[in-house]
Amino acid sequence: MLHIALHFLVPLVVAAVFFRRRWQYASVVMIVTMLVDIDHVLASPMYDPGRCSIGFHPLHQPWWVGVYVLLCVFPASRLVGLGLCIHMFLDAFDCQLTSGVWVNPVSNTLAGFVVQGGLSSLSSV
């Protein structure tokens, strides 16, 4: 519950501190980036409080964070990039608190299935 509250509070604080003149617009844009969690619909179960999102869901892959950081460079996409970076940091921090890891070692991507399938077939030999 605190995790979800932080997804609203941190963008609000960042907007209030760094975007004083347009804090309302900035906070709304950053909060709307929570839509990145739409990738949870591909998982089963859709929501698992004990599961680490980073490295598991398609839009929560570590390489995407590089794209989100890049979005922060350009003024037109800066608020979206910042909102996504805040989101990923909060998710990773939640992973650290609940599982002791920053990134889920079990990937939900095609590459993850290939690697895990390969590893499990090796262990069954």
Residue 106 DSSP symbol = S
Coil, helix or strand for 49?
Answer: coil
Of 19 and 40, CB closest to Zn ion: 40
Question: Per CB under 5 A, does 53 bind Zn ion?
Answer: yes
Number of CB atoms found within 10 A of residue 7's CB: 19
Span interacting with Zn ion, options 14-22, 31-39, 62-70, 103-111, rule CB under 5 A: 31-39
Span interacting with Zn ion, options 29-37, 63-71, 72-80, 116-124, rule CB under 5 A: 29-37
Q: What is the nearest approach in angstroms of Zn ion to the Cβ of residue 17? A: 23
Question: Per CB under 5 A, does 91 bind Zn ion?
Answer: yes
CA–CA distance, 56 with 114 (Å, rounded to integer): 14
Binding footprint of Zn ion, residue count (CB under 5 A): 3
Q: What is the nearest approach in angstroms of Zn ion to the Cβ of residue 96? A: 14
Residue 57 DSSP symbol = S
Q: Is 119 exposed, middle or buried (0-12, 13-18, 19+ CB in 10 A)?
A: exposed
Question: Per CB under 5 A, does 33 bind Zn ion?
Answer: no
Nearest to 71 by CA among 58, 80, 63, 59: 80
Which residues contact Zn ion by CB under 5 A? 37, 53, 91
